Amino acid sequence: MLKIALSTLRYRWASFVGSFVALALGVGLMATALLTIAATGGLPERSQYRFDAAPVLVLPDVSVRFTDGGGEQQVQPLAGQSGLPSSLVRAVARTGRTTLDRSFYAQLADGPRDQVGHGWSAAEFGGYRLSAGRPPLADGQIVVGGGDRASVGHRVRLMTATGPLEATVAGVTEQVPFEHAVFFTDAQAERLSPAVDALVAYGPAEQVRQAVAGQGEAKVLTDADRRQGDPNRDAALPGSPKAGQSVPVWRADGTATRLRVAAVFASAQDEVQGYLSADGQHPALASVAYVRLSAGADREAAAGALRTAVDGLGAQVSTPAQVADASRDANEQGSRTGLEMILGCSLLYAAVSLANTLAMTVAGRRRELALLRLAGATRGQVLRMLSAETLMCVAGGAALGTIASLVSATGAWAALRRVVGPMPLAVPWGTIAELGLLCTAVALAATVVPAALALRGGSADLAATRR
């Protein structure tokens, strides 16, 4: 049957090309849709952070403390943090080795707007690795994060908070997903920005906490909490009001007024929240109660006591980490559901178009099928020949469609790599195999079923049928 199918192709090249193109386009569209859906399932969290390799991280924690309408004490960090006090830096240094990190404005002439400067000693904590050149050894030498290797040895011009300066590119690193950085020697970084924006300590975390206590407003972070040191994590959202700005406000009862912004909180949430003084709030039932533990209190014991207290009252007790995880999971699920609906429609459209093209092709060959029956071919032989032709179309179209989808996926991977840095390229061969089986099943069904229905009548009647 395969040999017969091959020998008849030159007489039916037009319909064959039509089926082949339909299969290629259908496979390409379905492959892209399925690869996108598969890529959104179980998205891993970003694997590289600014202070991943820091044993203990100390950050400034200048906050505004206020009492809300329910009489609860609230603490919110300010978006603009001052540096760590020198007394705190000296106290932490007595616990063991420390490394100071300074973050300041430093932008190359052709660099991104959010480019930032650091001292070279802080590069190791973010996983920076030199891809060309060497570290800066003297003033006037820099290392550019994610820079072009061809720029090593060239003189460049930078803008800093203290004014423009020229430097020689001593080296470049691979791109990282969390910032665009320019590294100076530690001495030059200190002159450009004397304030200490972060401190990495190598001593025991408990000793560092004891050293920080009473030395100023700062927080000691370990493990996953170190991600709070990521740049732009606490940046204000675009369009957020600035401190001192007067903004219109509509109260819960519908009345309008204007209020002045006293401070802007640092927030990792994707929304803008406003806090009013107790006398400016509209009476309403509380929806959330924040519990602040006393120093030295057992968190697990306190959480257990709270759960026992609210049992049966329709309330639940959650830690900040659980709330953040639930919010992130809900956002990811909502995005994934919307994406699946859009791509699912595309997938269905491609399958229908594929089936319709093949069904029309078979319908146009009714006389040819009848002549094969009159020539002595059995109904089963005709159907097997059509199946062989379909499999040839599927093989060629699937190969071309898979190549097109892989080219599309590679282009997306290359674009993302330039934005967020190096990332693995994982090809879901299982999904591609499932796609091939799906296309084969749709194509065979769209070919064999119409042909079987057409062959139910007499061969002479079929031969007399006009196109």
Condensed to tens digits (0 to 9), the pLDDT of residues 51-61 reads: 888 899 998 87
One domain, residues 79 and 40? no
One domain, residues 16 and 122? no
Does 290 map to a domain? no
One domain, residues 11 and 115? no
pLDDT at residue 138, as a whole number: 93
One domain, residues 95 and 30? no
One domain, residues 12 and 61? no
pLDDT at residue 20, as a whole number: 60
One domain, residues 89 and 38? no
Tokens for 198?
């972060």
One domain, residues 94 and 137? yes
pLDDT at residue 382, as a whole number: 80
Beta bridge partner(s), residue 250: 256
One domain, residues 29 and 95? no
Interval 210-267: pLDDT, tens: 888 877 678 888 887 787 777 654 444 445 566 666 777 776 666 777 777 776 655 4
Give 40's Cβ-side CA count (13 Å radius): 18
Is the pLDDT at 171 greater than 70? The verdict is yes
Question: 61 with 219: CB under 8 angstroms?
Answer: yes
CA distances from 255 to 45, 260, 287 (A): 43, 17, 22
One domain, residues 348 and 456? yes
Q: Which of 182-186, 245-249, 373-377, 389-393 has the highest mean pLDDT?
A: 182-186
One domain, residues 15 and 145? no
pLDDT at residue 186, as a whole number: 93
Does 452 map to a domain? yes
Q: Quickly list H helices, 193-260.
A: 205-212
Band of pLDDT at residue 135, cut at 50, 70 and 90: very high
Does 287 map to a domain? no
One domain, residues 146 and 12? no
Does 255 map to a domain? no
Band of pLDDT at residue 441, cut at 50, 70 and 90: confident
Round to the nearest angstrom and report the end-to-end CA distance of the chain. Answer: 25
Q: How many domains would you assign to the chain? A: 2
Does 407 map to a domain? yes
Is the pLDDT at 273 greater than 70? The verdict is no
If you ran DSSP here, which 8-state letter would residue 458 be given?
-
In whole angstroms, give the CA distance from residue 453 to residue 379. 11
Which residue among 197, 229, 261 closes a domain?
229
> What are the strands, taking DSSP E only, across 48-103?
56-60, 63-67, 73-77, 98-101
Which residue among 180, 207, 229 closes a domain?
229
Q: Indicate the average pLDDT of the chain.
A: 75
Domain residue limits at 102:
56-65+74-229
In whole angstroms, give the CA distance from residue 306 to residue 424. 44
Which residue among 211, 229, 247 closes a domain?
229
Whole-structure pTM value: 0.48
Does 380 map to a domain? yes
More confident residue, 78 or 111: 111
Question: 196 with 83: CB under 8 angstroms?
Answer: yes
If you ran DSSP here, which 8-state letter would residue 404 be given?
H
Interval 402-437: pLDDT, tens: 777 777 777 777 776 666 556 666 666 776 777 778
Band of pLDDT at residue 4, cut at 50, 70 and 90: low
